[in-house]
Amino acid sequence: MTRRILVALATLVVLALVTAGPAAAYAPVNIVHTERVQAGPYAVTVGFSTWPIRAMRSLDFTFAPEGGIADKSGTLTVRGPGLKDRTRPLVRHPRKRDSWGLDVKAYDDPGDYSFTFAIDGPQGHGEGVLDHVRVLDQPGPPLALSWVVGSLPLVGLLVFVAVVWRRTRPGRVALAL
């Protein structure tokens, strides 16, 4: 009996280790559109993993200054509909470590957005703006309709459980025995 348990546990451990490798692998960031911004003495390439950008749809942004990010630091301010100006430091993209970036970011409202860069490095301070980045309407049906259609199976399940509950009356069956 204990031998079977040990074999089962060893099998589970081996399966967990074998499948952990592919699960830990990061999906590559596929840049499909780029824009160039001059931030003082620094040329920055802004990459987008989806183009055109649609509201409420996640995408990756990468910000790659010429010469790399090793000896530079910077901040990013995004302005657009429904956003409060918030300046945040530029940090490494989690899956594209040779550039700064935002991982799976989505914007809720369609409209024009701007990205303002402030970069400090060996050539001094520089600022640049990528203006008029258009975010289109949300793809697919309206959000309310999506929620209604998506919740239909749950409503059907609840109706089914209520009908079965009324017909079998578990409380009464136990009393009759």
Kindly report, residue by residue over 82-136, the tens digit of the pLDDT. 888 889 999 999 888 889 999 888 888 999 999 999 999 999 999 999 999 999 9
**CA atoms 82, 54, 45, 105: torsion sign:** positive
Please, which pLDDT band fits residue 26 given cuts at 50, 70 and 90? Answer: low
CATH homologous superfamily of 33-136: Immunoglobulins (2.60.40.10)
DSSP 106: -
C-alpha distances out from residue 163 to 4, 20, 157, 158, Å: 44, 44, 10, 9
Kindly report, residue by residue over 27-67, the tens digit of the pLDDT. 677 889 999 999 999 999 999 999 999 998 889 999 999 99
- Give the domain ranges of the chain: 33-136, 143-171
Contacts of 143 (CB under 8 A, 6+ apart): 56
